[in-house]
């Protein structure tokens, strides 16, 4: 399907969605008198337009699927008038080709998700979003991967990997993973083009890391998926693990990332670090690993 055809299909879907939402709102629900007999259920187009503070002709064209531009403020007003839920509002913004308000995804963590992360202990687990913001973690994650919690002002694993010197990175051979992470970031960015928080983050990344700027310009795209990674820790040396991402219902761009040791040695090192949470989290190349006590 061409871009023109996709946009036409999106406008058709937007028109059908607006009509359905309008027809399920009764006049008394928005403080209007029922008036004379209505030919259609719910509100009339002119009533929606007046309540939202937009022109009747403009709203009619929007509901007819005509190729017109809509601002975020106007679409938000229509969403409030139609009493849309958060999910419906986001759907409306996507159909109108606008970034939904607060659509970076959750910028915090709920008590329920934190309880799930804690229940996964002793497996290290974290909550992250499409931008690699580190939103939450359990005690096992903090003990094993404390090196990712490297900047209290910017809890973001991509920022940590690209801006820390290789000697201090929580990963061995971080260059092996950077390209895949950037490609995955771009797949998320497609849903947030133009959003101030995303654009500011990307500008900071390009300014801080020429390597990131070069990889970003290559336009590679990849979907999130399991990855085998090798980490290093000052107290135990290398840890080999595979990540599994779990989607979070209600926050489709957030995912719980769980780390499972790939071998018995790594499993023992996970356990030792969990029992010694104060162990130094990073390792310089010239510092030998300390063997795990038998």
Using one digit for the tens of pLDDT, what is the confidence trace for 195-241?
Answer: 778 888 999 999 999 999 999 999 898 888 788 888 888 788 888 99
Please tell me the predicted confidence (pLDDT) of residue 169.
67
- Same domain for 89 and 208, yes or no, is no
- Same domain for 184 and 68, yes or no, is no
Please tell me the predicted confidence (pLDDT) of residue 43.
87
- Same domain for 223 and 256, yes or no, is yes
- Same domain for 256 and 181, yes or no, is yes
Please tell me the predicted confidence (pLDDT) of residue 282.
47
* Domains contained in the chain, number: 2
User: Which of 63, 95, 127 is a domain's end point?
Assistant: 95
- Same domain for 154 and 243, yes or no, is yes
- Same domain for 157 and 45, yes or no, is no
In a domain, 83, yes or no: yes
pTM, two decimals, is: 0.61
Place of tokens 């999910």: 87
- Same domain for 264 and 119, yes or no, is yes
Residues of the chain with pLDDT under 50: 103-106, 282-294
Please tell me the predicted confidence (pLDDT) of residue 288.
34
Please tell me the predicted confidence (pLDDT) of residue 108.
64
Torsion angles phi and psi, residue 20, rounded to 5: -65, -40
Domain CATH number, residue 52: 1.10.260.40
Q: Which positions ≥6 away from 221 have C-beta within 8 Å? A: 183, 186, 187, 190
Please tell me the predicted confidence (pLDDT) of residue 285.
37
- Same domain for 251 and 140, yes or no, is yes
Please tell me the predicted confidence (pLDDT) of residue 41.
74
DSSP 53-114: T--HHHHHHHHTT------HHHHHHHHHHTT--HHHHHHHHHHTT-PPTTTT--SS--HHHH
Please tell me the predicted confidence (pLDDT) of residue 197.
82
- Same domain for 77 and 203, yes or no, is no
């Amino acid at each position: 399907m061409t871009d023109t055809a996709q946009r036409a299909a999106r406008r058709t879907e937007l028109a059908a969605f607006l009509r359905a939402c309008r027809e399920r709102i009764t006049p008394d629900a928005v403080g209007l008198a029922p008036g004379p007999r209505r030919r259609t259920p719910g509100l009339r187009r002119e009533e929606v337009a007046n309540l939202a503070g937009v022109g009747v002709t403009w709203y009619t064209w929007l509901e007819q699927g005509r190729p017109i531009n809509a601002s975020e403020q106007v679409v938000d007003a229509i969403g409030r008038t139609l009493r849309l839920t958060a999910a419906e509002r986001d759907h409306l913004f996507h159909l109108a080709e606008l970034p939904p308000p607060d659509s970076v995804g959750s910028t915090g963590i709920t008590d329920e998700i934190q309880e799930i992360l804690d229940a996964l202990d002793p497996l290290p687990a974290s909550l992250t979003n499409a931008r690699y913001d580190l939103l939450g973690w359990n005690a096992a994650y903090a003990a094993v991967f404390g090196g990712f919690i490297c900047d209290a002002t910017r809890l973001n694993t991509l920022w940590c990997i690209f801006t820390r010197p290789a000697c201090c990175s929580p990963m061995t051979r971080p260059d092996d993973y950077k390209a895949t992470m950037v490609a995955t970031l771009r797949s998320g960015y497609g849903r947030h083009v133009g959003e101030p928080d995303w654009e500011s983050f990307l500008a900071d990344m390009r300014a801080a890391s020429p390597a990131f700027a070069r990889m970003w310009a290559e336009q590679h795209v990849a979907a999130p998926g399991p990855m085998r990674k090798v980490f290093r820790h000052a107290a135990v040396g290398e840890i080999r693990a595979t990540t599994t991402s779990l989607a979070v219902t209600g926050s489709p761009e957030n995912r719980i990332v769980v780390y499972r040791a790939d071998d018995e040695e790594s499993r023992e090192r996970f356990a030792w670090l969990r029992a010694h949470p104060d162990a130094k989290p990073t390792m310089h190349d010239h510092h030998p690993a300390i063997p795990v006590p038998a």
